Amino acid sequence: MSVKKKREPLAATKARRVRAHARPSMVPFGEARSSLTQQIEVSSERDVIILRNSQPAAVLISYERYEALLDHIEDLEDRLSIVEREDDTVSFSEALGDLDSDS
């Protein structure tokens, strides 16, 4: 007997990928430069914050995470545009009334 796994909505999957990263790794600039290949591998598991003079200067993230972040931003922008347009909409009955008055 097999148990079907319930599929979660695509938006929830994307959001989980965006947020489900472990605590970032902090690496001094010189170390990051000398071990770039290793830092790229680390970035597949968690973000790598590159420090210059003990201050965050850059972040190294995996390409998959980068894509997920861009998708998430696009989804949020779409939702925001819908919310911003709510005052510009009319109900179906109002639109129907406008059509009836034109004839």
Q: How far apart are CA 102 and CA 24, in angstroms?
A: 62
With a cut of 60, say whether residue 31 has pLDDT above it. yes
Phi-psi region for residue 54, left (φ > 0), alpha (ψ -120 to 50) or beta?
left
pTM score: 0.61
With a cut of 70, say whether residue 48 has pLDDT above it. yes
Output the CA–CA distances (angstroms, integers) from residue 79 to 9, 17, 66, 73, 74, in the order listed.
16, 19, 20, 10, 9
Residues 64/14, Cβ–Cβ less than 8 Å: no
- Provide the pLDDT for residue 16: 56
Q: Edge-to-edge strands of the sheet including 22-28?
A: 22-28, 46-52, 55-60
